[in-house]
């Protein structure tokens, strides 16, 4: 008996060293069939087009392309986000930043939030989706990333409460772009040391944009820059929440406390790494 599409896909993925071949086979087949993964037939059948799409998917996966970049979307916090090679794929670690920001927003009745390096929009849009009277501004130096964020805003019906701006925080006059200060600033800036980028997994170094990864020689360039202007973009008593990389929390804390911000806390991720720093003006 000829083996099914499902079995063949699992086999191809397993042979290629994919860790969860069953799950990924289901996701890739459902996508090729154009159906929801939960509504996939037990014995999926496909015409030549489906076969061809599936083969392309498998080929990309075996070349190291992350599954979300193949499918074009990914779950983050409580929603599904479009992703592409123009944005950093949302990571589970970053959900911690969202959770901490929500606690602060809810406790303080914050109304205006700024996301520096908005990318896919996963942080900013997750906050706006949870808090109905919150307004957000998302900044990114990449127009292509902003196009993805805009698509996500539309999908989540949040376009009325979000403004997306193409700006680079390293440019002079960056602060002057904003009409009013913010109650809270969130950011997951690029924080990988330039020399470490080549050591990252292929799925990251080849398929996530370098702009979202490269933090300069010591990985801290964006933090130093943000620390220069963040106090001017916050209302008094405003909050700043930052994601940081492995072993960066102490240095980043110092960069921001040197500029007069008060360190309120540090939150670890699921792996026990200090991942989110919380400051108050
Ligand atoms: N978390 C990403 C990684 O280590 C890096 C993201 C960033 O630089 N902000 O793959």
Q: How many domains does the chain have?
A: 2
Instruction: Examine the domain organization and report whether 35 and 108 are in the same domain.
Output: no
Phi-psi region of 173 (alpha: psi -120 to 50; beta: other; left: phi over 0): left
Last residue of a domain, one of 63, 96, 113: 63
- Whether the CB-CB separation of 245 and 276 falls below 8 Å is answered with no
Question: Which residue has the CA at smallest separation from atom 9 of ligand 1?
Answer: 190
End-to-end CA distance of the chain: 69
Residue of higher predicted confidence among 38 and 128: 128
Sheet order of strands, 234-243 included:
162-166, 135-140, 112-116, 182-187, 234-243, 274-280, 262-268
pLDDT band at residue 4, thresholds of 50, 70 and 90? Answer: confident
Q: Does the pTM exceed 0.85?
A: yes
Whether residue 68 lies inside any domain: the answer is: no
Q: Is the CB of 192 under 6 A from ligand 1?
A: yes
Distance from residue 95's CA to the centre of ligand 1 (Å): 13
Mutate which of 88, 190, 202 for ligand 1 pocket (most atoms within 8 A of beta carbon): 88
Mean pLDDT over residues 176-187, rounded?
Answer: 96
How many whole angstroms separate alpha carbon 202 and alpha carbon 205?
5
Residues 78 and 217 in one domain: yes
Residues 16 and 85 grouped into a single domain: no
Atom of ligand 1 nearest to the CA of 243: 9
87 and 20 share one domain: no
Same-domain status, 15 and 137:
no
15, 43, 63 — which closes off a domain? 63
Q: Which atom of ligand 1 is nearest to the CA of 246?
A: 4
Indicate if ligand 1 lies below 6 Å from the C-beta of 82: no
Same domain, 53 and 90: no
Sequence-distant (≥ 6) Cβ neighbours of residue 93 within 8 angstroms: 243, 269, 270, 271, 273, 275
What is the number of residues in the chain? 281
Q: What is the mean pLDDT of the chain?
A: 96
Q: Quick check: is 69 in a domain?
A: no
- Give the domain range for residue 52: 3-63
Residues 52 and 78 in one domain: no
Note the pLDDT tens digit of each residue in 104-153. Answer: 999 999 999 999 999 999 999 999 999 999 999 999 999 999 999 999 99
pLDDT of residue 1: 38
- What pLDDT, on the 0 to 100 scale, is given for residue 3? 59
Is 50 exceeded by the pLDDT of residue 202? yes
The phi and psi torsions of 147 (rounded to 5 degrees) equal -65, -35
Residue 199's pLDDT is 97
Could you tell me the CATH number of the domain that includes residue 111?
3.40.50.150
pLDDT for the residue 184: 98
User: Does residue 196 lie within any of the structural domains?
Assistant: yes
CA of 215 to the centre of ligand 1 (A): 10
CB of 252 closer than 8 Å to CB of 261: no
Ligand 1 within 6 A of CB of 193: no
pLDDT at residue 189 tops 90 = yes
- Kindly state if the Cβ of 116 falls inside 6 Å of ligand 1: no
Smallest CA separation from ligand 1 atom 5, residue? 213
CB neighbourhood size of 264 (10 A):
14
Q: For residues 92 and 228, what is the distance between their CA atoms, to the nearest angstrom?
A: 29
181 occurs within a structural domain: yes
Q: State mean pLDDT over 90-95.
A: 97
At residue 89, does pLDDT exceed 50?
yes
Please tell me whether residues 17 and 147 are part of one structural domain.
no
pLDDT at 38: 87
User: Are 153 and 159 a contacting pair, CB within 8 Å?
Assistant: yes
Looking at ligand 1, which residue's alpha carbon is closest to its atom 7?
190
38 and 100 both lie in a single domain: no
pLDDT given for residue 14 in this prediction: 97
Which atom of ligand 1 is the closest one to the Cα of 214? Answer: 8
Q: Which atom of ligand 1 is nearest to the CA of 190?
A: 8
CA distances from 114 to 20, 117, 230, 281 (A): 37, 10, 10, 15
Residue 149 and residue 250 in one domain: yes
Could you say which of 40, 63, 86 is where a domain stops? 63
H helices present in 156-266, as ranges: 202-205, 221-233, 249-257
Chain Cα centroid distance, residue 123:
7
The whole-angstrom separation of Cα 49 and Cα 251 is 53
Please tell me whether residues 146 and 260 are part of one structural domain: yes
94 and 41 housed in the same domain: no
């Amino acid at each position: 008996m000829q083996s099914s599409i499902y079995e063949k896909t699992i086999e191809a993925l397993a042979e290629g060293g994919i860790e969860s071949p069953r799950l990924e086979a289901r996701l890739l087949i459902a996508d090729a069939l154009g159906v929801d993964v939960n509504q996939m037939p037990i014995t999926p059948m496909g015409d030549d087009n489906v076969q061809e799409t599936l083969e392309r998917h498998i080929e990309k996966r075996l070349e190291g392309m992350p599954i979300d970049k193949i499918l074009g979307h990914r779950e983050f916090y409580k929603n599904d986000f479009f992703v592409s090679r123009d944005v950093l794929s949302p990571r589970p670690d970053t959900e911690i930043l969202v959770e901490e920001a929500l606690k602060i927003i809810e406790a303080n009745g914050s109304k205006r939030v700024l996301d520096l390096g908005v990318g896919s929009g996963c942080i900013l849009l997750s906050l706006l989706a949870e808090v109905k009277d919150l307004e957000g501004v998302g900044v990114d130096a990449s127009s292509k990333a902003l196009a993805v964020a805009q698509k996500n805003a539309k999908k989540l019906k949040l376009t009325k409460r979000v403004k997306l701006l193409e700006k680079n925080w390293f440019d002079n006059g960056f602060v002057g772009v904003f009409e009013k200060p913010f109650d809270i600033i969130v950011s997951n800036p690029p924080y990988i040391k330039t020399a470490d980028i080549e050591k990252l997994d292929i799925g990251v170094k080849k398929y996530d944009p370098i702009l979202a990864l490269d933090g300069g020689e010591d990985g801290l360039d964006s933090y130093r820059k943000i620390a220069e202007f963040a106090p001017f973009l916050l209302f008094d008593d405003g909050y700043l929440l930052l994601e940081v990389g492995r072993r960066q929390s102490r240095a980043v804390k110092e960069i921001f406390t040197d500029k007069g911000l008060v360190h309120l806390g540090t939150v670890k991720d699921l792996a026990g790494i200090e991942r989110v720093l919380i400051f108050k003006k």
